[in-house]
Structure 1
Amino acid sequence: MSTDVEQLRAACERDLGDPADWPGPFGYPDALALCIIDAIYVTGARHLTVEKVIERYRSYRAARGGDADTDGAPELLANVEELGGPLQWAAEIGNRRPTSTAKGAPLRSAALIEVAQALVGLGIRTTSDLRAVAEDDELCARASAAWCAVPGQRSGFTWRYLVLLAQQPGVTADPAVVGYVYRALGAEDCDAVAALLRAVSEDAGWDIAALHHAIWRFESARPEQRGLPSTA
């Protein structure tokens, strides 16, 4: 085992807590619909709450012959329309949580529709579309701006989280994760970081996607909330 792998594993053990406590699994590389749901509902909530919403969506789609794990943004919009709109979707699948604590803030189900419509309007219908956009600075900036214009999404946290959820586990490393590894080892090349994460996960017996996500959450959290999702 290389010194770099040993050092990175030690840093992860120091900073990320017990791997048994990392929630998971992470990501939906073939389901933009699930990425959107997770990203919109994750802030300010235990991930168990989000998992219940995801499970209700999966169950609803399966009962009608659909496959939530391959649904894109158009399928999500069709599902909301089928149920009769954001209020009915919130009652059947989501929940009544608003996008913020501000008086009159819209429900997250309404924000979910807005972001899905914005993505479709930009030609982002699937996770592969999103991954392609994320690699193009100009297109990514446009998509991020459209997403962040929706109530409750201004901070950009949920946009970054959306992109992370859509990634293929272990293929690349998010910039926040690269930054973490850079501080630990000095490595800053995305491919090198991805290789190091794979080596650490294999050495420690950790799931590579869970490790990547745990580091991302640690880096993205406010200093007083290390390991927890930030609020939008």
Structure 2
Amino acid sequence: MNKVNETLDYICNTIDIGDIRLSEGYYYNSIVFCIIDAVYSIGARYASTKKTVERYCLKNGLKMYRRYGSLPIDIKDEHRVEDFLRILEGLTYLEMAEDLFENRQRTSTRNGILKAQAVWEWASILHHNNIGSFRDIPKLHDDVNIQNQIKSIKGQASGISLNYFFMLTGDDNKVKPDRHIINFLEEATGKTLSKIEIEELFKSCVDILRERNPNITCRSLDHAIWGYMSNR
């Protein structure tokens, strides 16, 4: 049996294909919240990440989510990247971590920088390249140079956070190959797969699973598997 068939069998035995849906976290009301989530979610429990975004919103009187199922272009008066950087202006990285996010996690336990610093650097790169809202995301999709600038931030070299950022901003074709996804596919196939192999496998599985659920995407399947693995 090949990897696609093995994975499909495992998916069908563990996931309700007919009831796959995204969580409210995929309907943030600002591109800024997507940056915070993408950075803080790596190597952390999602409840902690969600609280970090919530605290930033509460401290600044911001609405966290848009209407479920709505498109980013429907957002009125989006909290833009330049608004975010204005709030951070004059703060040290430690002050950002302690006072604004109330989260002192680092990008790595060994020589990692504060995730607050990584968020600031990510936002600064977007701002420098005139990317300030959801409407500007296609520019990032099309510019490998800007993507590489983001991946040059300490702790972002793998591109996992960037993939997840694209997913949070609406890309249905991306996968976040974190430990839950890697472990699920290892259980399904008996092999540890590379990032490229995971992406190709997801696309192959989704093409077949659409016969049962025409609305399924790589993004929604990723979320369903993540939910299954994190709740076991």
Q: Which amino acid aligns with 2:174?
A: D
Taking every aligned residue pair, what percent have the same amino acid on both sides?
Answer: 20
2:124 maps to 1:117? yes
Decide which of 180, 185, 190 is 2:202's aligned counterpart.
Answer: 180
Residue 74 of structure 1: aligned partner:
82
Asked if the contact 1:26–1:209 (Cα under 8 Å) also holds between the matched residues in 2, the reply is no
Residue 52 of structure 1: aligned partner:
51
Asked if the contact 2:80–2:133 (Cα under 8 Å) also holds between the matched residues in 1, the reply is yes
Decide which of 140, 163, 167 is 1:164's aligned counterpart.
Answer: 167
Q: Which amino acid aligns with 2:223?
A: A
Q: Which amino acid aligns with 1:92?
A: D
Following superposition, the deviation at residue 100 of structure 1 comes to 0.8
- Unmatched tracts of structure 1, length 5 or more: 1-7, 188-192, 201-207, 219-225
SS for the counterpart of 2:60 is helix
In angstroms, what is the RMSD of aligned CA positions?
3.8
Following superposition, the deviation at residue 9 of structure 1 comes to 9.6
> Residues 217 and 29 (structure 1 numbering): CA distance in 2 closer, same or farther, change over 3 Å?
same
SS for the counterpart of 1:51 is helix
1:17-96 to 2 correspondence within 5 Å? 24-28=23-27, 30-62=29-61, 66-67=62-63, 70-81=78-89, 84-94=91-101, 95-96=103-104
> Residues 54 and 29 (structure 1 numbering): CA distance in 2 closer, same or farther, change over 3 Å?
closer
| TM-score normalised according to structure 2 size | 0.65
Residue 211 of structure 1: aligned partner:
220
Equivalent-residue separation in structure 1 for 2:92 and 2:9 (angstroms): 49
Residue 97 of structure 1: aligned partner:
105
Equivalent-residue separation in structure 1 for 2:174 and 2:225 (angstroms): 7
Residue 153 of structure 1: aligned partner:
156
Decide which of 88, 108, 131 is 2:115's aligned counterpart.
Answer: 108
Q: Which amino acid aligns with 1:87?
A: L
Following superposition, the deviation at residue 24 of structure 1 comes to 3.4
Residue 182 of structure 2: aligned partner:
none
- Unmatched tracts of structure 2, length 5 or more: 1-6, 66-77, 176-197
Equivalent-residue separation in structure 1 for 2:8 and 2:125 (angstroms): 40
| TM-score normalised according to structure 1 size | 0.65
> Residues 9 and 36 (structure 1 numbering): CA distance in 2 closer, same or farther, change over 3 Å?
same
2:145 maps to 1:142? yes
- What CA deviation, in whole Å up to 9, does each residue of 1:90-132 have, x standing for no partner? 11232111111223x3211111111111111122111221134
Tell me the matched-pair count.
188
- What CA deviation, in whole Å up to 9, does each residue of 1:56-112 have, x standing for no partner? 0111111xxx55552222122122226x23211211232111111223x32111111
Following superposition, the deviation at residue 13 of structure 1 comes to 4.5
SS for the counterpart of 1:26 is helix
